[in-house]
Amino acid sequence: MDSLLDANLERPKDEFLSVRNLHTHFPLDEGTVVAVDGASFDVAAGKTLGIVGESGCGKSVAARSILGILDKPGVIVDGEIRFRHRTADDESGEVVDLTNYDVDGEEMRSIRGGEIAYVFQEPMTSFSPVHTIGNQLMEAILLHRDVSKSEAEEIAIDMLRQVGIPLPEERIRQYSFELSGGLRQRAMIAMALSCNPSLLIADEPTTALDVTTQAQILELISDLQKEFGMAVMLITHDLGVIAEMADDVVVMYLGKVVESAPVDDIFHDPKHPYTKALLQSIPRVQSESREMLASITGSIPHPYDRPSGCAFNPRCPSFIEGTCDVGEPESITIGSDHQVSCFLYQEG
């Protein structure tokens, strides 16, 4: 599998989560949807990786691939997902390739929810409507921790308290539809953190929440990250959230990673035309009244009609005829930790 590695994307020395050349496909009657097309990125221990891009760029599918919770008929057809798995014999952990595990096997179930937790986009549809919040938290705790039922209930109440839910002894006996959107999201975070994971994947954790609640949820995630010392993989289309939360940023387009760099480099020295276009579309306080916001022309191509060459070439303001529509650019390193896939930075 080492042959899959790009020369410019060597593995980190202290490997925690390393995704390399990930390909996730959905074979359908109409054709095959290539949701993730050779994505490579790293999550450092204790750090926050932000993944950005428009809807349909493969962000959520890449995250779900890590945990093996793809909707059918989704399947990983190639690539590696290497994760430092905690073991009883070695506190530092053992690096394993999650793609080698049976998604329904005992090993994967112990990691899923135990060492890697997932906060879904919409907690209303993620919680069971016929079981109380407490039942669902306790089920996760009993599955991954060696505790009694009464101890699991105490842990569940304590976690609800830690995420800022008032009267947790009462809330634990309520159903998800009895809670507001903000409280449901807090309860989802409590469930995710109830087994002390080393990695939290937060998939659009502030979707459909008002701005005040959004700020509270993001502050909560940041505070809990510091308290538990966990890494966070934050998926969002909101670059303002990325600027506030992330240490490193991955920009995805049509299943590919087009640029990755530390957050300051992405905002102050973006390289890829797609990254620049995303940044230009952010509303600014200094904008004139009624001034039109910048937008990216066109839309993401249909899954069954992918363009030849660079996937972004039909919408790219820097399009080079005979180059961008012919071949796919390779990922190259600019500076120390800045990678970009664009012909503008390749020799020849």
- Per-residue pLDDT for the chain (348 aa), expressed as one digit of tens each? 333 334 345 555 567 899 999 999 999 988 899 999 999 999 998 999 999 998 889 999 999 999 999 999 999 999 999 998 876 555 667 888 999 999 999 889 889 888 999 988 776 778 888 999 999 999 989 988 888 999 999 999 998 998 888 999 999 999 999 988 888 888 988 888 888 889 999 998 877 677 888 888 888 889 889 888 899 999 988 888 899 899 999 999 999 999 999 999 999 999 999 999 999 887 776 666 667 777 888 888 888 888 999 999 999 999 999 899 898 999 999 888 899 999 998 875
Contact in structure between 182 and 209 (CB atoms under 8 Å): yes
How confident is the model at residue 37, as a pLDDT? 92
Instruction: Determine contact, residues 278/266, Cβ cutoff 8 Å.
Output: no
Assess contact for 296 and 281: CB atoms under 8 A. yes
Confirm if 108 and 98 have CB atoms less than 8 A apart: yes
- pLDDT given at position 3: 37
Q: Of 299, 278, 242, 339, which is closest to residue 20 (Cα–Cα)?
A: 339
Q: Is 282 helix (H, G, I), strand (E, B) or coil?
A: coil
Angle at 311 between CA 247 and CA 43, to 5 degrees: 20
Q: Residue 283 in 3-state DSSP? A: coil
Nearest-10 Cα torsion for 121, 45, 241, 227: 90
Structure tokens at 280: 């230009």
Which DSSP string corresponds to 215-264? Answer: HHHHHHHHHHHHHHT-EEEEE-S-HHHHHHH-SEEEEEETTEEEEEEEHH
User: In this predicted structure, what is the pLDDT of residue 145?
Assistant: 87
pLDDT given for residue 169 in this prediction:
92
pLDDT of residue 91: 60
pLDDT for 172 equals: 92
Which residue has 């899959």 as its token pair? 4
- Pure H helices in 68-148: 106-111, 123-126, 133-144
C-alpha pair distances (Å), 195 with each of 53, 85, 135, 146: 30, 14, 15, 11
Residue position matching structure tokens 């290497």 = 82
For residue 2, the model assigns a pLDDT of 38
